[in-house]
Structures are given as C-alpha cells and as structure tokens.
Amino acid sequence: MGLRSQPDSDYTGTWSPFGGGRVRPRSPQDAPYFTGAERVALELVEAVLTPNPFGERVPDDLFEKASAHYDDKALWTLTLAIGQICFFIPVALIAKPIPGESSGKHYRK
C-alpha cells in the first residue's frame, strides 16, 4: 500500500508515512514539527495575507509574541523575507506564468 490510500467513507485523513495508520491533517499550531519561532513566523505570514476589515492585520499581541522569539534584526529580516515573497503573489495572479517556458516567454498574453 502506498502512502495514500482511498479514505474510508467516514474518514478524511491520509496514511502516515511514519507508520501508525491514518493521521488527520494538522495546522501549524498543532503540529509537533514546528518550533515556537516557526509557528510565530507562520502566524505573521497568515496575518499579513489575510484581510481584516475590523482592525489591524498584525495586532500588537502578535507583534509582542514575535518579539519574544526574534531580536530586532531577525524580526526585520523576517519582515523583509515576507515582503519579498509577497512581491511575487500579484505577478503570479495577474501574469499567470506558464511553467516550463524559457525566460521572457513564460507569461500569457
């Protein structure tokens, strides 16, 4: 049997590659694979990318949580990395690059 199999009619999980049967998908906050700093970084990315019509996207408590894990230089580095990644989101959404095409020819007209 492969890593994935047809789920039972009452179960939507996948087979665990580490043995032990099926596992349910987890969020980064629940998964044991992330450090506290990595969880905060993922929360920051989610906050930046999720519109909030009722207030700030990155509330003060999330900033304080990030400050507990990162010094000033590391927090600015993380902020700039998030900005660098987010720069390409509109490019991908608007231009819809075609995978496998050479540079200059991989955008739809």
Distance of CA 75 to the CA centre of its chain: 17
| pLDDT > 90? residue 19 | no
Separation between Cα atoms, residue 78 and residue 95, nearest integer Å: 26
Of 18-22, 26-30, 97-101, the range with the lowest mean pLDDT is: 18-22
Cα 22 from Cα 29, distance rounded (Å): 20
Span 93-109, pLDDT tens digits? 787 777 777 766 666 66
The domains of the chain are located at 1-33, 34-109
Predicted confidence band of residue 8 (pLDDT cuts 50, 70, 90): very low
Contact predicate 78/70, CB 8 Å: yes
